[in-house]
Amino acid sequence: MDIFKTKLIAYTIAFGLLISGCIGVGLYYFFPTLINWDWYVGIALFFLIFEVGIMLFVNNASEKKDKKQMVNIYMLTKVVKILAALVVIGIFAFYDKENLKGFVAVFILLYLLYLVAETSLFVKIEKHIKEKKSKDE
The mean pLDDT of 118-125, rounded to a whole number, is 87
Q: How far apart are CA 124 and CA 118, in angstroms?
A: 10
Q: pLDDT digit string (tens) for 67-88?
A: 778 888 889 999 999 999 999 9
**What is the reported pTM?**
0.85
Provide DSSP, the chain: --HHHHHHHHHHHHHHHHHHHHHHHHHHHH-TTSS-HHHHHHHHHHHHHHHHHHHHHHHHHHHH--HHHHHHHHHHHHHHHHHHHHHHHHHHHHH-STTHHHHHHHHHHHHHHHHHHHHHHHHHHHHHHHHHHHHH-
Q: How far apart are CA 80 and CA 85, in angstroms?
A: 8
Higher pLDDT, 67 or 24: 24
| Least reliable range by pLDDT among 7-16, 19-28, 104-113, 127-136 | 127-136
Model confidence at 112, pLDDT cuts 50, 70, 90, reads: very high
pLDDT of residue 91: 92
